[in-house]
Amino acid sequence: MKIDRAVVKALPLFDRMSDEDLDKLLGHASPRRVPQGDTVFEQGQPAVSFYLLLHGRLKVTQVTADGQQIIVRVVHPGDLFGFAKALQRSDYPGTAIAAAESLTLGWPTDLWPSFVEHNPRLAVSAMQTIGQRLEEAHTRIREMSTQEVERRVAHAVLRLAKKAGRKEDGGIRIDFPISRQDIAEMTGTTLHTVSRILSAWESLGLVEGGRQKLIVKNPAGLSELAEGSKDQA
């Protein structure tokens, strides 16, 4: 399969890299088409590769010892994922599963250290990426510590709309199949509660739901909910 160099070059992570270096990088990369529902790697497997998502959408999940599942994060096009080696561990901490048909680019994990040492710029960029992810994690911790479920769901939906939203007639549609269960696993609640909340929102005209479908009709209204306007009164 032919890899479009321009696509990769457009990503912030690689934009400072010379064409020469980039070609060398792409020379080692293996593209892979991932059908919906298939996994790129699974929790506990040895980390043999790290990846870049070119197209589609992935969910990274973790299963706890007692069988409960959570969604750690959603991978959007342009995101690097599965670089366990950078986290100083030899196996993947989670499972990456395609929420929609996806296209990934994979490199052998062994190449990571040499990449980083040969391209300090890349090292800095990668570190910033992880840093941002850390901040997102802290945001989530903060939300889960201090906010009730409805606000957390509001935040999660707004984030999805921003990261994976596509404008549509009178609303922003989440551009990949997403279930109530998924949202529940992102916010630390149950699908029942999510369903109730979305139903309530739908009757308020804030969103429009459906089977694995979600359209935000009134982002401003949702934001108000998310920010907890009740304190302002």
Partner DNA sequence: CGACAGTTTGATAGGATTCAATCCTTGTGG
Partner DNA sequence: CCACAAGGATTGAATCCTATCAAACTGTCG
Helix (H) / strand (E) element for 40: namely: strand 39-41
Residues in CB range of 29: below 8 A, 6 or more apart: 3, 52, 105, 106, 107
- Over the Cα atoms of the chain, what is R_g? 19
Residue pair 34/40 in contact by the 8 Å Cβ criterion: yes
The listed partner (DNA, its own copies, none) that binds 179, CB under 5 to 8 Å by sort, is DNA
* 230 scored as a contact of DNA (CB under 7 A): no
Cβ-count burial 189-222 (b if 16+ within 10 Å, e if not): beeebbbebbeebeeeebbbeeeeebbbbbbebb
Q: Give the footprint of its own copies on residues 56-115 (CB under 8 A).
A: 62, 64-66, 68, 70, 72, 86-89, 93, 113
- Site map 12..51 versus its own copies, x via CB under 8 A: ----------------------------------------
Scan for tokens 């359209």, then name that residue: 215
* 196 scored as a contact of DNA (CB under 7 A): yes
* 144 scored as a contact of its own copies (CB under 8 A): yes
Q: Give the footprint of its own copies on residues 164-203 (CB under 8 A).
A: 185, 188
The listed partner (its own copies, DNA, none) that binds 217, CB under 5 to 8 Å by sort, is none
* 228 scored as a contact of DNA (CB under 7 A): no
Scan for tokens 């990369």, then name that residue: 29
List residues near DNA by CB under 7 A.
Answer: 148-150, 179-181, 188-193, 195-196, 198-199, 202, 209-213
